C-alpha cells in the first residue's frame, strides 16, 4: 500500500525536491526509494517496540491535527536520521544537503500517508486500525501465517489474534488490543531473533502491497 501512496505522490515529490533542494531529477528519483525504505523501517521498528502512539502522533501531526509536532516526534526523528544516512552514503551529498532533502520530502510523504490513513477510517481521525488498513497490514491473518514455533511463534500467534480481534472491537477496546499486540511483537523479537527478524522483514514487504 505504501508503494501506491508513493506512486501517486511521485510527480509532486520530484518537482518539489528539485525546486527546493537544487538536486537534479536523477538524484531526486534515487532519493524516493530511500525515503520509502526509511519510513518502512521506522514504522515496523515502532510497531515491534510497542510505540504505536508514536506512529499515531507522527501521522496526526503530518496532517495538521496536532500530535505534538512532526519534527519533534521520536518515530519521525528516527526515520529522518535513517533517511539522511542513506542519502549521504548513496547519493554522495553532504549532510547539510541530505538534511534539507529530508526536511522537504519526508513531511510531504507523511502528509500523504496521514491522508490515506484518514480515508481508511470511519472518521477523519487517525487510529491504530486506520493506520493498519492504510498501510495494508492485515495483521490478523498475515501474522497468523508468519507465526512459527517456539516462544517467538507463540507470542506472534497471540499478537495476531489480538490484532484480528481489534478490528471487531469498539474504539477503546480495539486500541488497547492493538497496543498490547504491538508489545507482543517486541517481546517476540527478544524471544527469538531469527523469528522476530524474519517477521519484521516480512512486515516491511507488506508495505509494498
Residue ranges covered by each domain of the chain: 2-120, 137-206
Alpha helices in the chain, H assignment, sequence order: 2-21, 25-48, 52-62, 74-91, 95-120, 128-134, 139-146, 150-166, 171-191, 193-206
Residues of the chain with pLDDT under 50: 141-174, 193, 195-196, 202, 206
What is the pLDDT at residue 146? Answer: 43
What is the pLDDT at residue 188? Answer: 52
Amino acid at each position: 500500500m505504501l508503494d501506491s501512496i508513493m506512486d501517486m505522490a511521485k510527480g509532486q515529490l520530484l518537482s518539489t525536491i528539485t525546486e527546493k533542494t537544487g538536486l537534479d531529477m536523477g538524484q531526486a528519483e534515487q532519493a524516493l526509494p530511500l525515503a520509502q525504505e526509511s519510513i518502512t523501517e521506522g514504522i515496523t521498528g515502532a510497531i515491534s517496540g510497542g510505540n504505536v502512539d508514536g506512529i499515531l502522533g507522527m501521522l496526526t501531526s503530518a496532517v495538521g491535527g496536532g500530535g505534538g509536532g512532526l519534527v519533534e516526534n521520536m518515530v519521525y526523528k528516527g526515520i529522518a536520521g535513517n533517511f539522511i544516512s542513506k542519502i549521504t552514503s548513496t547519493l554522495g551529498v553532504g549532510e547539510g544537503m541530505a538534511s534539507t532533502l529530508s526536511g522537504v520530502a519526508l513531511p510531504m510523504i507523511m502528509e500523504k500517508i496521514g491522508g490515506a490513513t484518514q480515508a481508511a477510517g470511519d472518521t477523519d481521525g487517525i487510529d491504530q486500525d486506520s493506520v493498519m488498513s492504510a498501510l495494508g497490514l492485515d495483521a490478523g491473518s498475515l501474522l497468523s501465517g508468519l507465526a512459527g514455533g517456539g516462544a517467538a511463534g507463540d507470542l506472534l500467534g497471540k499478537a495476531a489474534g489480538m490484532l484480528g480481534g481489534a478490528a471487531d472491537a469498539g474504539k477503546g477496546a480495539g486500541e488497547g488490543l492493538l497496543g498490547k499486540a504491538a508489545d507482543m511483537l517486541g517481546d517476540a523479537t527478544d524471544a527469538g531473533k531469527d523469528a522476530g527478524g524474519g517477521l519484521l522483514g516480512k512486515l516491511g514487504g507488506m508495505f509494498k502491497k
